[in-house]
Copies of this chain bind each other. A is one copy, B any other.
Amino acid sequence: MKKNIAVILGDGIGPEVTQQSIKVLDAIAQQYKHEFTYTYALMGADAIDKTGSPLPDETLSTCLASDAILFGAIGHPKYDNDPAAKVRPEQGLLKLRKSLQLFANIRPITTYPALQHLSPLKAKNLEGVDFVIYRELTSGIYFGKKNLSDDKTTASDDCVYTASEIERIAHLAFKHAQKRRKKLTLVDKANVLETSRLWRKVVQEIAPQYSDVTVDYMFVDNASMQIIINPKQFDVILTENMFGDIISDEASVLSGSLGLAPSASVGSGVALFEPIHGSYPQAAGKDIANPIGSILSAAMMLDHFGLNEEARLVTDAVQWMLQHGFVTKDIDPINSYATTAIGDLVKDFIENKL
Q: Which residue of B lies closest to A243 (CB)?
A: B246
Tell me whether B228 and A249 are in contact (CB under 8 A). no
**Within the assembled complex, what's the spacing in Å between the Cα atoms of A158 and B246?**
19
Tell me whether A162 and B154 are in contact (CB under 8 A). yes
Of A6-14, A54-62, A218-226, the one with at least 4 CB within 8 A of chain B: A218-226
A141 on the B face (CB < 8 A): yes
Residues of A169-218 contacting chain B, CB below 8 A: 189, 192-195, 197-198, 201
Tell me whether A224 and B249 are in contact (CB under 8 A). yes
**Copies held by the complex:** 2
Q: Which residue of B lies closest to A195 (CB)?
A: B155
A162 cross-chain contacts in B, Cβ below 8 A: 153-154
Of A67-75, A120-128, A301-309, A344-352, the one with at least 4 CB within 8 A of chain B: A120-128
**Within the assembled complex, what's the spacing in Å between the Cα atoms of A345 and B125?**
33
Also in contact, A156 and B153, with CB within 8 A (given A125-B120, A249-B225): no
A159 on the B face (CB < 8 A): yes
Of A102-110, A142-150, A263-271, A334-342, the one with at least 4 CB within 8 A of chain B: A142-150
A253 on the B face (CB < 8 A): yes
Tell me whether B158 and A163 are in contact (CB under 8 A). no
Tell me whether B249 and A222 are in contact (CB under 8 A). yes
Tell me whether B156 and A195 are in contact (CB under 8 A). yes
Q: Which residue of B lies closest to A140 (CB)?
A: B157
Report the minimum CB–CB distance from A174 to chain B (whole Å).
20
**Within the assembled complex, what's the spacing in Å between the Cα atoms of A189 and B194?**
21
**Within the assembled complex, what's the spacing in Å between the Cα atoms of A235 and B141?**
29
Tell me whether B252 and A225 are in contact (CB under 8 A). yes
Tell me whether A155 and B224 are in contact (CB under 8 A). no
Report the minimum CB–CB distance from A196 to chain B (whole Å).
8
A163 cross-chain contacts in B, Cβ below 8 A: 152-154
Q: Which residue of B lies closest to A193 (CB)?
A: B157
**Within the assembled complex, what's the spacing in Å between the Cα atoms of A338 and B161?**
50
Known interface pairs A120-B121, A148-B197; 14 further A-B residue pairs with C-beta atoms within 8 A, sorted by A's residue number: A119-B122, A121-B121, A121-B228, A122-B122, A147-B194, A152-B201, A154-B198, A155-B194, A156-B160, A157-B194, A157-B195, A189-B242, A221-B249, A229-B253
A residues in contact (CB < 8 Å) with B:
119-122, 125, 141-142, 144, 146-148, 152-164, 189, 192-195, 197-198, 201, 220-222, 224-225, 228-229, 242, 245-247, 249-250, 252-253
Question: 4 closest A-B pairs (Cβ-Cβ)?
Answer: A155-B198, A146-B194, A224-B250, A221-B249
11 A-B residue pairings within 8 Å (CB atoms)? A121-B122, A122-B122, A141-B193, A142-B192, A152-B201, A155-B198, A222-B249, A224-B246, A225-B252, A225-B253, A246-B246
